[in-house]
Amino acid sequence: MTKQPLPVVDSARTEFGFSRTQCDCLECTRNCHHIPGYLVPADLERIHQHVAPDHDLLAWAKEHLLASPGALVTRDHQTFRIPTLVPARRPDGACIFLTATDHCAIHAVSPFGCAFFDAHMPHAEADRRSKRGLHAVLQAWNGNGLYAQVWMALADDGLVAPAPEVARQQLREAGRKEPQ
């Protein structure tokens, strides 16, 4: 999938002041099979440049990303969604960047929703990180930035991911079926 060698993962990579996580245990990578992490605006160009720098960004996005309805959030007693970009899915529902050996083909530049979370993180910390990332996405929407434009183009073409709560339910059901 990638046209150039993968760079070494920068363990010092930060986003919004958060440090990248490094776990790739079975519990953490199980997410890759059901609910690929969301991109923040900075991820869009970073991943595109890593995977296909010579291709048009929108054409690349139509092959590698989906428009997700996004996370449900509550603000001032109002519940709404913040639409997000997520990696496209293979026919089996797994992330398009997940290799046959269950490794991430873009691990070095993986999306914020992957690189800064793991299954062992306390919920409060995951929520804090998620809120910050979603705030950046919301800002991109409010400014009609490239992120929002790409999302609209994907949605217009029917390239839409299942809602996160649907994917989370599939993840839970898969966990119940796995041998303990």
- pLDDT at position 119 is 87
Span 99-117, average pLDDT: 91
CA dihedral for 7, 12, 15, 19, sign (positive or negative): positive
- Has residue 8 got a pLDDT over 80? no
For residue 168, which of 113, 124, 98, 116 has the smallest C-alpha distance?
A: 113
Q: What's the whole-number average pLDDT of the chain?
A: 87
- pLDDT at position 5 is 44
Task: Label residues 2-18 b or e (16+ Cβ within 10 Å = b).
Answer: eeeeeeeeeeeeebeeb
- pLDDT at position 1 is 46
Span 118-140, average pLDDT: 93
- pLDDT at position 178 is 56
- pLDDT at position 4 is 41
* 6: CB partners within 8 A, 6+ apart: 105, 106, 107, 108
pLDDT in tens, 37-69: 999 999 999 999 999 999 999 999 999 999 999
- Has residue 180 got a pLDDT over 60? no
**Between 8 and 121, where is the model more confident?**
121
| Tokens 């914020």 sit on residue | 112
- pLDDT at position 80 is 92
- In this prediction the pTM is 0.85
Rg of the Cα trace of the chain? 16
Using a pLDDT cut of 90, give the percent of the chain over it. Answer: 61
Span 96-102, average pLDDT: 91
pLDDT in tens, 146-178: 999 999 999 999 999 988 888 777 777 776 665
